[in-house]
Amino acid sequence: MINRKKILIADHDALNLDFFDLMLSKLGFIVERAQDGHAVLASITNGSEHGYPDLIIINTVLPKVSGWEILKAAKADPKTAVIPVLLMSEIDDVKEIVEAFELGADDYILKPFNFSVVLARIRAALRNTVLFTQLSTREKRLALAEKSNVNLKHVFINLEQSIDDLVSELTHLRAQEGCMSIAVQLTEKATRVRSIFSKAEKIIEHTETEWESLKGEEIGLTILEKPIRGTVDC
């Protein structure tokens, strides 16, 4: 089943809404429309019930609640912060454009616009969301694997200790009359098992070392989500 992306488009201009609805629907997108800020906020708020939009395009000027306020609200909520927001405006002002990106906007579209360019920006924003989602999933998988590795190491340590205790008891058993032959055989088997566990523990330790080395080189979501101000603290 094809996963059709849902785009929420908000504009006070009905003709502009009709145009986006027509063009994006033809391209296979699910289009949700809104003509005022309250409708946009309601759609975002009820996303947990009806499904969040995959992308939001909002005019900076909207009745009731401005596009700026919607942008701030969307990026402040962890449940909607990952949704790409494209601001649309008739104002070609450097300060406004800079502020839009500082507030977390994923793009800034100037009117009048070329739809082909807007479509390319929409696809780029959706592609970035997919990459962020994949990175988030990867980080969760690595964290789970790392936790499993630590737990497994503790299990091996406990097993080795149990084997050492068993060898110690067998050593005392060898001194008893009639038990020496069996005790020797069991001691040899226990020693071989301990050797296997020791090798496994070394593999786990090597994996931990490699993990720490890779973690020092990678850039995670927490870094990518930070505003870049000259340098990025890794």
Domain ranges of the chain: 6-113, 141-223
pLDDT of 173 above 70: no
Model confidence pLDDT, tens digit, residues 24-69: 999 999 999 998 889 888 888 776 667 889 999 999 999 989 999 9
Model confidence pLDDT, tens digit, residues 85-131: 999 998 888 999 999 999 999 999 998 889 999 999 999 999 888 88
In terms of average pLDDT, the best of 49-53, 135-139, 194-198, 205-209 is: 49-53
| Both tokens assigned to 63 | 């009745």
pLDDT of 18 above 90: yes
Q: At what angle do helices 67-76 and 37-45 cross, to 10 degrees?
A: 10
Beta bridge partners of 10: 34, 58
| Both tokens assigned to 195 | 């050797």
Q: Which own/partner pairs from 205-211 qualify as long-range (CB within 8 Å, at least 24 positions apart)? A: 205/153, 207/149, 208/149, 208/150, 208/153, 211/142, 211/146, 211/149
Q: May I ask the CATH architecture of the domain 6-113? A: 3-Layer(aba) Sandwich (3.40)
- Per-residue DSSP letter, 175: T
What whole-number distance in Å separates Cα of residue 41 and Cα of residue 117?
27
Residue 54, exposed/middle/buried by CB under 10 A (0-12, 13-18, 19+)? buried
Beta bridge partners of 31: 7
Residue at 134: amino acid letter = Q
What whole-number distance in Å separates Cα of residue 201 and Cα of residue 213?
19
Closest CA to 58 of 100, 99, 116: 100
